[in-house]
Every structure is written in C-alpha cells, then in structure tokens.
Chain A
C-alpha cells in the first residue's frame, strides 16, 4: 500500500498567520490566549479566548481583494490556511481543478459564527441577509472548492472536536482506495456565540489561561483558526518537499456519555491503539505525543489514564492548546501541523501554565523547549459524542 506523504501545510491561529509564525510562537512560548478584540460577545473581557489577530473585514480584503459579501469568518480562515498549504506544495491550478484532487474539510460551527444574522434569517419574512447559503458546515469546504474550481471528490466531516483529524484520515483513505491521487485536508473554526455559550453552559470554560494536565486546571479556552495539509502518494511526490509520512490513524468511540469521557478513557485508549495497529507500530515506537489536553478536569485525567494504560512509561507529551486555545473542529489539523513541525525540526514545545501534576496520574508534560530525536509523533483529538481519533506522523 502506498505511503501517504504530507507535501504542503498551511495554518492560521491566534499565534500566527502562517506555519512559520506559528512555529516561532511555539519556540518562544508566546501564547495567543487573551481578551477578545474583534468578536462581539458579552463574554469579551470575562472569558479569555485565543482569537486570530485579524478582523473579518481585513481577512476578506486580504483573500479576495474586492470583499466577498456572503462569506463567513470560518470560511475566510479556511481559505487563508488552504491557500498557504496549496502554495507550499506547489500544486498548479490545473492540478487543483483536476478530478484527481480531493478536498476534505471539517468544522463544528460552520457559518453559525454569524449568530445574529442566522437568527434574523430564521424569522424574517423578506430581505434575507447575504449569508443565506453560508450557515451550514459544507459552506466552509465549498468556499475552497469553488475558489479552485475543484472537480474531485469533496467531503465535510463534523465529529465535534475530532472533526479535522477525521478529515485527514478520510483524505488518506480516499487516496488509498483510488478515489483521488492527492487530497487537501483540514479544518476551520471561528469563535461564535454558539460555542462560547454552549461550552459556558457546560461549565467547562476557564476564566484564566488554560492549564492542561495541571492538578488545579479548571477548564478550556476557546480558540479559532484553520489548518490544511496536502496529502500525496509517495510515488507521486519524490521530486518535491516531503514533510512527513502519515503512518497510522485510529477512530474509535468512547460510547459513555454525550459530553464527557469514560473514567478510564476507553475511547482515547482504543483510538491510540487503533492508530498504532493501523501504522504497524508498537507503543514504544512513539517518541512524542501532542495530547488532546484541553485543560478540562475530565479530559486531562482520562487522557492521562488512557496514555498510562497504553504506554506504561508515557513518552514526552504536551498540549499546544495552552497556546491556541481549543480550536474545536480545526484542532486536529492545527495539531497535525504542530506534530509535523516536531518531527521536521526534531524539537518539542512546552505545555504552558502547568504547575503540579494530577495527583492520581502524576504525569508531567514537557515544560521546556528542546531539541529531541524521534521518528514517530502521535496526535490525539477527542470530541463530544465519544468521537476519538488519533493520527501518527513519521519522519521521511
């Protein structure tokens, strides 16, 4: 079976507009978590978030020149990251439009970032806003599809916070099963009253910067951003830049509760194990883990238990959500890019705001930037509805 290679990456988040800027922030421990500047919500100033440092108008002008009147912030973030990834991989306009190029996007909020507009359009008798076709999840993926006139298979996935990890594995499977020669895969998310209020109602938003895996952690911070990767078959990309191999992927369900993990982390454990098996690897082959690590009481303890169950001696790990916040549907792709940066540069990024380990599990994440040697990196994404996914990237 062909090996799947990552030949391009694009990323925009609260810690940078490009992959290079993101790496710079990770190396120098600059978190993007802070007060909301652009998004209008009554929680601005009360709940810290990790916001992309551009207004929607700026992004629209930057991407379209003449602003597109019906496009949402989520789609703009997606386009920003996808454009970078496609440029990075050197794909031509012809290759993008070809029916051999698939596109798999992911988001959990889609166009519902426009809470007030959707509310207006749901009740108005006439004079709809320009966003009538922009509220659903597919609108985000279709913004990329139509920008490049893509004729290949196109899909959008929403499995809550593991959405874009599933987009990546679905794209790899489309290639392996002959539905495509290459695939653009990733996800996008923007801050929204919908998610801010939803997570707040569940009492899992922290009023301080999140502290993944810390004993006294008290919740997550929402973030926004987008990341896309270009996947190609090894034999098709020998003459271009090869960042990493997508060696294995796992998808399992926790089947325990609609919005929290089982006490022993069954879903996370099974998902990591599934990825190892899929990649033909043993637990001891993994050199580093980009954990899901949201900073909620439930996730960090159950993820720790699952890692201990699987690895015994848990490899170096950290949570980059202490920089980007939890970017929900984009998180799997954002952290896939970070995992690939780990590999390419043979370096690890520290978890921020950690002070004391969780008493029951005692795990301590990476606390300092350093150069390290490893071949395989694992990235975890777990979502509501028990949707757990794990990706493994390896050095070329």
Chain B
C-alpha cells in the first residue's frame, strides 16, 4: 500500500519549512498568494530564470531530495504550468508582431518544466511525467503513484504539484465568473453567500513508497468522475464509501473543497448527505484559495491532522471529532464538473486500539 513520508508545502499559509497553523494569513485584494521562501537550495543563476510555478516546485522538492537523492520516478501535476511565462511569451509575439524573440519564456512555460528542472538539478534519469488535467491533475498523479508502487514494489517516488496565480489567468477566470466580484476576506469566505471563489496557489511535494514504517499517512484510494449532475456525484461517492468502509463504518473526518461559490454547494450537500450526521466535516479553501491542484493542500493538511489526532477549529464546518482522527476522506470539486475522492489514513491505525 502506498505511504506518504516526508512532505513539503509552499502555500498561502505558514506551511514551509514547518507547519504553523496557529496564525492564519489573510487574503489581500481577494488573492491568496503563497509565502515564498528564499530557496537557498536553488543556485542563484538558475533561480533567476525560473518562473514562480517552477520555482515553488523545485523549492519544495529539493529539501526532500537532500534526504533521498534518487527517487525511481518524479510524478508531477500542474494544470497550467508556467502561466506567467506563457503569457509573457504571448505578449512578445503580439508586441513584436512575431519578430525575433528570445526563447527563455517559451521553454520555461511548458508544463513539464517543473518535473524536468527537478530531474535536471538532481540528474535523475527515471520515470518522469507531468499530469495536466485541470482540476484532477493532482488526483491523476496520485493514481499514477498508486500504479507505480504496485508495478515496482520496492521503489520510491517523488510526487508533487504546483500551480501559480498569474495576472492573466486571473483575468480570464474572472471574466468567466469564477471569482468573487466584491472584496471579501478569506476568513469570511463561508459566511458570505455569493458566486465565485478566492484564487490561490501553491506547491506540494511528498516522498512515497510502500513502507509503513515512519510513514505519516497511507493512501487508501483515489477515484474521480466528470459530471455536472449532483445525483451522479452522490452515486460515485456512495460507491467509493462502500468500497473502502465496512457496513456502518464512516470516515473520521470529511475534508471538502467547498470554495465559497454558492453555485457549487449542491455537490457538497449531496456528498455530506451520504455520511452519518455525526461525522465531522471540515473545509480548507479559505486557507489555500481555489486552484486546480488545491486538493494537494488538503492532503498536506490531513498529515497535520493525523499527526495531532485533532482537527484545527479554523477548518471545522460541523461536528467535532469524538475520537482520534484515523481516516480522512477528501472530496474536491473543480468548478462543478470534475470531482475527486481521496482517502488518506493514519499509517499506524492498526497499532491503535479501536
């Protein structure tokens, strides 16, 4: 079974190098931008040429690779890659009317630049792939690691993701009506009722193998579905529950991707209706904002919750945990069309007397 080991998370909260969720950072002008470290591990010459998305990915990956220099593969998710570099290059094309351009932004903007840079910096020749399927890119990467660890039982993988807010994709998504129009603090995201979310960004990296020893969590299952029909989401969710829980058993916590967009509440209501009323439900997008690979932040949060055994109150939507949290079910929804269920469990659940 796949286990999560060391991880690193660069997010809008104080998550890197160590987690500190006692203070919550608030959004500025409806944006939740990451707290970028200085990245002392990245050589200055290389760092200067990196766009933010690649920089965050390499910055999060390098500390893990100091301890484990050569993974058997790098499995990276990013929906948009280097969006800022991409538009920078498009700008040049228009501005110079397709004249003589410099290729740096073009090369940096390709989606696989993050996975490629990490492989290049660490001279790693192994399996290397970039999943870009919008709101499910991270789940596809998780699925890839599950398969890789079945195919190669003794292997270890670097799994991760990165996505950035750029002024341009922010503008495009705003025009499409996906973000709040009125100014709102992330702290009030769930107490105000409106259409739209607050955008966020971040990078998450984790070392994974089949070894339970010293693991922070296990990855029990991951499944996804495309639909706009809440009834189909409910059906898929019930199937996921029945495949992973014995009759009458429930997750100790539901962690959902509610993003403050009232148009999407029907999906969360449907999913929450399928678990017992006593199951605690928590949310995370008021901390990290909404972006394509935001469910990775939930994954990282679940490690913190499993470590502490309790749920930070800032996350809770309803109920509190009456026993130590062992199994966390993450339901994420991207813009009402892409749905994912991920089950993360304590790596040591069988050591605890239930």
Contact = CB atoms under 8 A, between A and B. Distances in A.
Interface of A: 41-43, 99, 108, 112, 115-116, 118-119, 121-124, 126, 128, 132-133, 135-139, 141-142, 145-146, 150-151, 153-160, 166, 170, 173-174, 176-177, 179, 193-194, 196-198, 200-202, 251-259, 266-267, 270, 383-387
B136 to A, nearest CB: 7
28 contacts: A43-B98, A108-B111, A119-B91, A135-B172, A136-B80, A150-B226, A154-B133, A155-B136, A155-B143, A176-B147, A177-B147, A194-B90, A197-B92, A197-B93, A198-B89, A198-B103, A201-B100, A202-B107, A252-B126, A253-B128, A255-B122, A266-B125, A385-B115, A385-B119, A385-B120, A385-B128, A386-B128, A387-B112
Interface string B211-224: 00000000000011
B225 to A, nearest CB: 6
B131 A156 contact: yes
Interface in B249-273: none
Contacts of B190: none
Contacts of A202: 103, 106-107
A216 to B, nearest CB: 24
A151 B226 contact: yes
B2 to A, nearest CB: 12
A124 B128 CA distance: 37
A119 B97 CA distance: 13
B132 A157 contact: yes
Across chains A and B, which 6 residue pairs bring their CB atoms closest together, nearest first?
Answer: A385-B116, A198-B106, A128-B175, A138-B134, A122-B168, A201-B103
B44 interface: no
Contact of B79 (A138, A179, A386): A138
Contacts of A387: 112, 115-116, 128-130
Contacts of B144: 170, 173
Interface in B199-256: 223-227, 232, 236
A201 B130 contact: no
B110 interface: yes
A92 to B, nearest CB: 19
Contact of B116 (A42, A151, A200, A258): A258
A149 B136 CA distance: 17
Interface in B77-107: 79-81, 86-87, 89-94, 97-98, 100-103, 106-107
B124 interface: yes
Chain B interface size, under 10 / 10 to 19 / 20 to 34 / 35 or more: 35 or more
Contact of B175 (A132, A170, A197): A132
Given A122-B168, A384-B107, A201 B224 contact: no
A64 B143 CA distance: 33
A383 B87 CA distance: 21
Contacts of B100: 201
B225 A151 contact: yes
Given A141-B133, A157-B130, A177-B150, A267 B125 contact: yes
Interface in B119-157: 119-120, 122-134, 136-137, 140, 143-144, 146-147, 150-151
B150 to A, nearest CB: 6
Interface of B: 74, 79-81, 86-87, 89-94, 97-98, 100-103, 106-107, 110-113, 115-117, 119-120, 122-134, 136-137, 140, 143-144, 146-147, 150-151, 167-169, 171-173, 175-176, 223-227, 232, 236, 337
A151 B128 contact: no
Contacts of B120: 255-258, 385-386
A385 B130 CA distance: 11
A50 to B, nearest CB: 19
A179 B223 CA distance: 9
A141 B132 CA distance: 10
A119 to B, nearest CB: 5
Contacts of A194: 86, 89-90, 93, 106
Nearest to B108: A258
Given A121-B175, A122-B167, A197-B89, 12 more contacts: A119-B87, A123-B171, A135-B172, A142-B226, A153-B223, A197-B92, A202-B103, A251-B128, A255-B125, A384-B110, A385-B112, A386-B119
Contacts of A42: 97-98
Contacts of B111: 108, 137, 158-159
A16 to B, nearest CB: 28
B227 A115 contact: no
Nearest to A127: B175
B36 to A, nearest CB: 22
A256 B223 CA distance: 35
Contacts of B131: 155-157
A133 B176 contact: yes
Nearest to A146: B226
A173 B117 CA distance: 25
A201 B99 CA distance: 9
A177 B2 CA distance: 14
Contact of A158 (B81, B119, B151, B176): B81
Nearest to B49: A258
A383 B119 CA distance: 14
Nearest to A124: B175
Contact of A154 (B91, B93, B224): B224
A133 B168 CA distance: 13
A115 B226 contact: no
Nearest to B169: A122
Given A122-B168, A138-B132, A142-B134, A201 B101 contact: yes
Given A151-B226, A197-B98, A387-B128, A174 B172 contact: no
Given A115-B93, A201-B101, A124 B107 contact: no
A366 B215 CA distance: 53
Given A119-B91, A137-B111, A159-B128, A201 B102 contact: yes
Contact of A254 (B86, B125, B133, B167): B125
A251 B129 contact: yes
Given A136-B79, A173-B147, A259-B107, A156 B90 contact: no
A239 B185 CA distance: 61
Contacts of B227: 151
Given A194-B89, A194-B90, A201-B103, A159 B129 contact: yes
A166 to B, nearest CB: 6
A254 B128 CA distance: 10
A112 B74 CA distance: 26
B107 A258 contact: yes
A154 B136 CA distance: 9
A1 B101 CA distance: 50
A177 B146 contact: yes
A138 B134 CA distance: 6
A153 B143 contact: yes
A119 B42 CA distance: 32
